[in-house]
Structure 1
Amino acid sequence: MASATEPSSALAPDRQPADAVEVRSALATATSVRLEVAGAAADLIDAHAVLPDGTIVVAVDAMTRLGGLLVVARGADGAVRLDVTHLVPVPVRARVRARMTVTGRVRRLDPAFLDSCDDDAVMALLGLPPVALWTIEPGSVHVERHGAAVELPVEAYRAARPDPIAAVEAAHLARLIRQHREAAHRFAALVDPDLAATGARLVPVAVDADGLTLRAETAHRHHDVRLPFRLRVTDEATLDRELRRLLPD
């Protein structure tokens, strides 16, 4: 079993769809992103949304310095950069899953655009701060993980959707840590019997539509153990059933 701390030499081409899903999931669930334009940068807190086609909307007051730079940058290819760090949402070692960078073209959001948005997109935009809204059309998408990097095709990014469990992952992991720690040890021992003798701290660190990941932490290294679901999860009710199957009370 490879340590998650050891970098891989490359990301295979068939990882691109999974990476695209991770980028969309990270953008959909992040509470903060870093926006950079013309050398100026700011962290936007609860001030972005992602539309179904992958267009990113950010809320930046046009009367601020950053807003003024966005005005100047309108329509220019690669003029804006958006950075997001995808983190494990529970306290463990090596919390960074991946770092993503999106560069692209920025424009003011045309209010008429709302007429073509579905209800979820409209509600997401209405939840942004009441300042100027800007759209970022991605021109490149970069993912870095454990020292390896990949450039995603923009088409793959646009075609992907967030993992169906992404929005509730943090809550379910917190509940698993609170209620199922001993069960996690038992099932990790089934996957890798040697773990039972190491005294490792085992923590659920990821759950998605296809399975649960446990992390075994020792003093000097850690391993991730994957427990697949029997079927792909698409809603919380199915997720609860699959987690009860893996980690019964």
Structure 2
Amino acid sequence: MTALKSFEAAARLNSFTLAADELNVTQGAISRQIKLLESILNVTLFDRKNQQVVLTEAGRYYAQHVAESLHYLKSAATQTIAFAQPGHQLHIGIVPAFGSRWIIPRLRGFASEYPQVHLRLSTISGGDLAFALDEFDIALVVGVGDWPKAMVHQLEKEELVAVAAPPWIEKFNIRSPGDLIGPPLLVHTDRPTLWSKWFDINDIDAGALVPAPLALEQIVMIIEAANAQLGAA
């Protein structure tokens, strides 16, 4: 399934790089999956010229049918839920912030459409998923999608946005992204490099960052700490 999804994205976007960005994996991972498919089918799917990839005639034919098949499988999986026996429990692993701010507000609509499905929600992180795949029917986590034993589907790309309480912003006279170098920055213990990535995205030489004297494991706690004026998040 991973190879088919990699091929579909590369064929649709005419680029291994763009496919890698969409699926949140490396370009090398896309290339390996395409080579695996070509080996299995014993046919060349892409012509590779001048660092560009172009579908062959066989590739165009295969791409059309793969896209249709993946769409059908996704639709079938969704509809199959409706056939669950009364009392069937769907165990979902979620990161707490996503669960409380996105999943919970939508549960009423799900329950109305699938009243026979009982949900069990448990917290999990992307780092835990590799060790807990057998525990969940579905897991919604943040990560690069590198879980070989799972069928992975990207929901959204992550967007990094810096936030802070208005009084804290005034206290440290924050007027531009660069002004965040120096004031205390709240740290996510599972993802300690987030601030470095954010500064890189904004083309800012962060140098030596000043972490707040408080490290937190959950995004929900980090948001509350920012509201309490303990640092920027």
TM-score between both structures, scaled by the size of structure 1:
0.27
Q: Relative to total residues, which structure has the larger helix share, 1 or 2?
A: 2
Larger radius of gyration: 2
TM-score between both structures, scaled by the size of structure 2:
0.28
Q: Relative to total residues, which structure has the larger strand share, 1 or 2?
A: 1
Higher relative contact order (CA 8 A, sep 6+): 1
